[in-house]
Amino acid sequence: MPSVSREEMETKLKSVITEAAESNTLDKIDWKTLPLPQVMIQNERNRVLASPNVSAWSAVPSQKHGSTPDALSKKRKSAEYNGDANGCPPWRQTNNHNTFEDRITYSPTDKRQRVDHKNSSKFKANLELRRKRFEDTRYGSSPSSRDDSPAPANQGPVVGRCQNLEKNYFRLTSAPNPDTVRPLSVLVKTLDLLKKKWKKDNNYGYICDQFKSLRQDLTVQHIRNEFTVSVYEIHARIALEKGDLGEYNQCQTQLRALYAQQLGGHPTEFKAYRILYFIHTRNWTAMNDALADLTPADKRDLAVKHALDVRSALALGNYHRFFQLYLDTPNMGAYLMDMFVDRERLSALAAICKAYKPDVKIRFITEELGFESDEQSARFILDNTSEDLLQEKDGAVRLLTGGRAGQLFEAAKADAHRIVDIKGQI
Amino acid sequence: MTSVFEDFEQGQRIGSGPRLAAALTPVAPAEYPERLQSFYRSSNAARLSPDLRYSLFQANGLKLPKQEQNAWIDIFSLYWTAIGEITRFSDAPSSASWVKVFNAWKDLVNMIIRGYTNFGLQAWTLPCLYVVGKYLRIFAMKADTELASQDSGFGDSFQDDITSEFEKSAKLEEAARIINRMFTLCLSDRAPIEESRKWGVYNTTNLLFKTYFKLNSVGLSKNLLRALNASSADLPDLEAFPKSDIVTFKYYIGVIHFLDENYAEAEQHLAYAWNMCHRNARKNRELILTYLIPCHLVTTHTLPSKTLLAPFPRLEHLYRPLSNCIMKGDLNGFDNAMSAGEEEFVKRRIYLPLERGRDIALRNLFRKVFIAGGFDEPKDGQPPVRRTRVPIAEFAAALRIGTHADDRSRVDIDEVECLLSNLIYKGLMKGYIARERGMVVLSKNNTAFPGTGV
């Protein structure tokens, strides 16, 4: 074949054999029917030419291009990419098409190049496309792996073909492979399985991982319907139960977007959680947004109304009302309230110590601050201050109020609030 | 009625930044509505560069360093392209697109930034940067609206979760990143202060604040403040900057603190802005007051007077009903006024501080109880002393009236105590609760309700 030089042909042949040897397929490949190396090279070239939007030269990565920081970092992250720029097969290097990029010489300090591209997502997308085309041709060079090459990234949804119910979560670093993505019909079964497993084993590490891969499969296939909503809702509830606020917050953010599209689910339940969550993280800016999101119908809902009342009771320092609400929390809101109830107890105690004289019965504290027993409230006071604040008088344990007690609780309160400041930033 | 080129020439000759910036405005002045069209038609893509060289420099004999001259030609080439996209809206509406306008305008902004970093544009021309930045933000918002009407909501498929939240304002976010570079461009200039771009720091900061607020990511503003603080030693005093920049800057800082419920600090900054704001800038004064009034209510427990609000009917409407109820101690009226204005309050982000006004209303109600309690029997010719031991039941009765409680609803004594204890804790009342005796013991010597004369 005149267009393929002997040198190229030999290199190609060598690479095919090496690859086969490395993957232990030397004796499995039917060498008689395998195309000749010249034909392989020709095919590759044709494929490059035939693929839309690709001009031949851009399919060949230039050394220069591969060394831009952006491309490098992407490659490092990519699991599929197994070799750096210098690992190019030799035939690639000799087969010098003298690329456009090579001919233009930007000095590395020239801002022109960077300024133009840095903020253009389009450029990134192109880069990504180009990288994938590159992989296409690389993998294409060995017939045995031809099927493994990722589908051309056409930005459209993936259609999954995987039939396994379970799948571990991996963060995507390249376009998803349909063979490892489960279609909706499988995902529905997956959810059922996960629900059963959660009830039976209560293994959060496993469940969280599975739900993340489930969510990923939904996203890459652009599935956005009632099922999607229920997946996020269930994951959010499980995360709440386990106090995994980071994961819960991710689900919550997504749910907000999903509810905005009227896909069903339980919007008011989660709007209520959202308010409680922002009370916990004391994110007032976000709280304002959450309030602005509520419709008049939402506000009539029991759970939302409860959350709003909690918020307003705390805003006004009405601990009496707050703890009444705490003892009567709908749905799973109590998991969230548990996270800040102690903090609010300290605030209430600081106020009580300043307002009452000379003392109050421990019974009063137990009832006002929603403790389960006098022992529990006594324990709470001792844990946060010092023991001489509690005294027995006339057959009842009393909390000595006044200046010193006030200061101690004030300090404990400041402490508790500071800790949440850090947590809230997650 | 001046053309783009006249503005450019005059700006360069007299060294006036605003005049120069007028040449880069993408909006035709009222007295010359055809200005953009006429500029666009003055050349075509093939002859653009030589045409511009002639019109900007050769025709009027303007001399600039070669590098700078070329930069301006590049800038106006991109301006010409962007104007081409803009004029489509009147000339060929079917092919007009805000996304295209935004992209073209973005190229222009990037070129101007490069003009400063690489080609020696001088600091006095900064108004050009302001003007293109301002419109970059506007075009980005229009482009986002346009995209939203065609958007599928799914971004690139590399995300684990749906990303419609962010996609919604993709262009504005892009604009924010570019404006951020404008900010850095100004802040990091090390030229002597007389000719430094540092003078543009607050203008670009304000533009960025505006963008972040629109993006609902006020949190990002804090990074800016950190950057500003870090180099505050190299910056001239705040007073040395243009007043308009400072007023806006202080306003935003005030609102940022306000949103974090740091009302004391918010008040400081807002008051600064209020005092320095131009008296005829009614809209701005109204904005400042919108946040200053709630701050004042929380920090000093005072209400806006009729004279203060007279020039601002909208604010009068917003705040008067609440103020009246607070003054009278009418809790029921207060709650009604809060729910009546809730939508507006929440939208303006003033609901949370206003809600605290209930404490003041409650204080005023309880103060009435104290006054109605009259005086204790005077002892041996001493002046009469107010009765300072008030049964909790009396406060409970007041609360029944204040909340318009009917026969069936009971007022919970524990809750009354809780409200009292809060007022005492917050310093609105002085005294203590003696729980066993069901009494509140208030301070003597006219200090029971600090600041109210009794």
Residuewise pLDDT in 10s, chain B (454 residues): 688 999 999 999 999 999 999 999 999 888 888 999 999 998 888 899 999 999 999 888 888 888 999 999 999 999 999 999 999 988 888 888 999 999 999 999 999 999 999 998 899 999 999 999 999 999 999 999 888 877 555 544 455 565 554 567 889 999 999 999 999 999 988 888 888 999 999 999 999 999 999 988 888 888 888 888 888 888 888 889 999 999 999 999 999 999 888 999 999 999 999 999 998 999 999 999 999 999 999 998 889 999 999 999 999 999 999 999 999 999 999 999 999 998 899 888 899 899 999 999 999 999 999 998 888 877 777 777 888 889 999 999 898 888 877 766 677 889 999 999 999 999 899 999 988 888 999 988 888 888 887 7
> From the CA of B432, how many Å to the nearest CA of chain A?
5
Asked if residue A289 has pLDDT above 80, the reply is yes
Question: For residue B351, what is the nearest residue in chain A, using CA coordinates?
Answer: A288
pLDDT of residue A12: 76
A–B interface: beta-carbon pairs under 8 A: 134
Task: Name the domain boundary from A324, A340, A356.
Answer: A340
Residue owning tokens 């006036």: B16
pLDDT of residue A163: 82
Closest CB to A284: pick one of B261, B414, B426: B261
Q: Is residue B448 part of a domain?
A: no
The structure's pTM equals 0.72
Are B69 and B124 in contact by the 8 Å Cβ rule? The answer is no
A228 shares its domain with A121: no
- Three-class SS of residue B325? helix
Q: Beta strands B389-391 and B439-442: pairing type?
A: antiparallel
Determine which of B259, B421, B430 to mutate to test the interface with A (most A C-beta atoms within 10 Å).
Answer: B421
pLDDT of residue B248: 95
Are B353 and B298 in contact by the 8 Å Cβ rule? The answer is yes
A309 shares its domain with A356: no
Mean pLDDT value of segment A294-315: 92
Residue B426 to residue A317, Cβ atoms within 8 A: yes
Rg (CA), chain B: 30
Q: Is residue B317 part of a domain?
A: yes
B407 shares its domain with B259: no
> From the CA of B235, how many Å to the nearest CA of chain A?
27
Determine which of B106, B162, B432 to mutate to test the interface with A (most A C-beta atoms within 10 Å).
Answer: B162
Average pLDDT of every residue of chain A? 75
CA pair distance B209, A418, nearest whole angstrom: 27
List of chain B residues whose C-beta atoms are within 8 Å of the C-beta of residue A394: none
Task: Name the domain boundary from A92, A127, A147.
Answer: A147
Q: Is residue B452 part of a domain?
A: no
Which CATH number covers residue B401? 1.10.10.10
pLDDT of residue A4: 67
Q: Is residue A153 part of a domain?
A: no
B339 shares its domain with B394: no
Asked if residue A80 has pLDDT above 60, the reply is no
Closest CB to B162: pick one of A172, A257, A357: A257
Q: Is residue A155 part of a domain?
A: no
Q: Which domain holds residue A406?
A: 343-424
- Among A9-13, A106-110, A290-294, B192-196, the range scoring the smallest mean pLDDT is A106-110
Closest CB to A158: pick one of B157, B417, B420: B157
pLDDT of residue B61: 86
> From the CA of A305, how many Å to the nearest CA of chain B?
13
B201 shares its domain with B61: yes
- How many folded domains does chain B comprise? 3
A171 touches chain B (CB under 8 A): yes
Summarised one tens digit per residue, pLDDT across range A325-380 is: 999 999 899 999 998 999 999 999 999 999 998 888 889 999 999 999 999 998 99
Mean pLDDT value of segment A204-225: 88
Split at pLDDT 50, 70, 90, the class of A284 is: confident
Q: Is residue B395 part of a domain?
A: yes
Q: Is residue A154 part of a domain?
A: no
B446 touches chain A (CB under 8 A): no
A378 shares its domain with A352: yes
- Three-class SS of residue B350? coil
Which CATH number covers residue A234? 1.25.40.990
Task: Name the domain boundary from B235, B266, B281.
Answer: B235
Closest CB to B358: pick one of A115, A253, A316: A316
Residue A292 to residue B352, Cβ atoms within 8 A: no
B396 shares its domain with B339: no
Amino acid at A19: E
A327 shares its domain with A226: yes
- How many folded domains does chain A comprise? 3
Closest CB to B433: pick one of A157, A158, A355: A355
B437 touches chain A (CB under 8 A): no
Residue B164 to residue A319, Cβ atoms within 8 A: no
Nearest by Cα to B144 from B101, B91, B82: B101
- Three-class SS of residue A166? coil
pLDDT of residue A2: 58
Q: Beta strands A396-400 and A359-361: pairing type?
A: antiparallel
pLDDT of residue A152: 47
Q: Is residue A163 part of a domain?
A: no
Closest CB to B174: pick one of A119, A253, A292: A119
Split at pLDDT 50, 70, 90, the class of A76 is: very low
Residue owning tokens 């920049």: B245
Residue owning tokens 């190396």: A37
Amino acid at B54: Y
Q: Which residues contact B436 (CB under 8 A, 6 or more apart)?
A: none
Asked if residue A66 has pLDDT above 50, the reply is no
pLDDT of residue B3: 87
List of chain B residues whose C-beta atoms are within 8 Å of the C-beta of residue A350: 425
- Which two three-digit tokens encode residue B408? 């069936």
List of chain B residues whose C-beta atoms are within 8 Å of the C-beta of residue A357: 432-434, 441
pLDDT of residue A78: 37
For A321-351, give one letter per residue: b (16+ CB within 10 A) or e: bbbbbbeebbbbbbbbbebbbebbbbbbbbb
Residue A285 to residue B219, Cβ atoms within 8 A: yes
> From the CA of B186, how many Å to the nearest CA of chain A?
17
> From the CA of B101, how many Å to the nearest CA of chain A?
15
- Which two three-digit tokens encode residue A412? 């404990």
> From the CA of B412, how many Å to the nearest CA of chain A?
10
Q: Which residues contact A116 (CB under 8 A, 6 or more apart)?
A: A123, B110
CA pair distance A314, A267, nearest whole angstrom: 24
Closest CB to A312: pick one of B355, B415, B420: B355
> From the CA of A393, how many Å to the nearest CA of chain B?
13
A241 shares its domain with A297: yes
A308 shares its domain with A378: no
List of chain B residues whose C-beta atoms are within 8 Å of the C-beta of residue A410: none
pLDDT of residue A217: 87
Closest CB to B110: pick one of A115, A292, A354: A115
Residue B351 to residue A321, Cβ atoms within 8 A: no
Read off φ and ψ for residue B175, nearest 5 degrees: -60, -40
B70 shares its domain with B193: yes
Residues 312-331 of A with CB under 8 A from B: 312, 315-321
Q: Which domain holds residue B378?
A: 366-442
A195 shares its domain with A249: yes
> From the CA of A156, how many Å to the nearest CA of chain B?
8
